[in-house]
Structure 1
């Protein structure tokens, strides 16, 4: 795993040890950023099931100003912090060990809006529809923002969820990427 582009291009990233985390491959990560726009002009991001933090670190490298990383695993939190330190992004990040639903409630309470939200939950524990509805109902996405949902290719998500529309979907083997924005 590595940072593909931007300020930290080529920098290696650590993976979370064990089999509990499924890192996004470099190929899929590169495809995601080609779809959502290769670079950002500032803004805030949320990496909800952060794992190693690879997607959020990539967004920081490509110009996002601030990123919130959330994961339940203590090991994942340690790896995220190491990857942020390696890229000198500690000042641009908040890292929380928390469950996704509680984290969404916390950012809603702070009345935050995000330019990009990454949802990449463990395939066996997906509550994607509920999370997308919560994001929509609590207006957590900026007007031009996108939500990148990584899921098992067999999972079928609705075209419309709340006020969000899936405008692009791609498959990479057993992985699918669905990208939502406001209708």
Structure 2
């Protein structure tokens, strides 16, 4: 934006995610300077988190699932030239919502229906804890205090991914 990076930093701190996204689309130079700030944190708004979750749950799950499947296909010769967002920008992420919020985002919309039926989980179906583990793997610069998700899901292997 400006020729002085320190001033840019202060300006970016004052902008909303929507404003940062609009700045990133101006030109390649702005895109390169804004992207680290745009991807710094993935935070759920506090005013109406249920509404936000309902509106964006499928999009967030699809982003994580697309990246998960992309990683599974890295050995294939016909790999798509387009990299998923977490591959390109995951290293910029420093803050994520609490694990329980992320797990709600990552659950399949059909999980609540299946939980009322007899348990017939398919072997090839990706679970919310697997996607959460994958997201943490894509965010090597994550600044986190605690990753104890065992009270929400009895999978102790999620924190092993970070170590």
More strand per residue: 1 or 2? 1
More helix per residue: 1 or 2? 2
Q: TM-score, normalised by structure 1?
A: 0.29
Q: TM-score, normalised by structure 2?
A: 0.31
Structure with larger Rg = 2
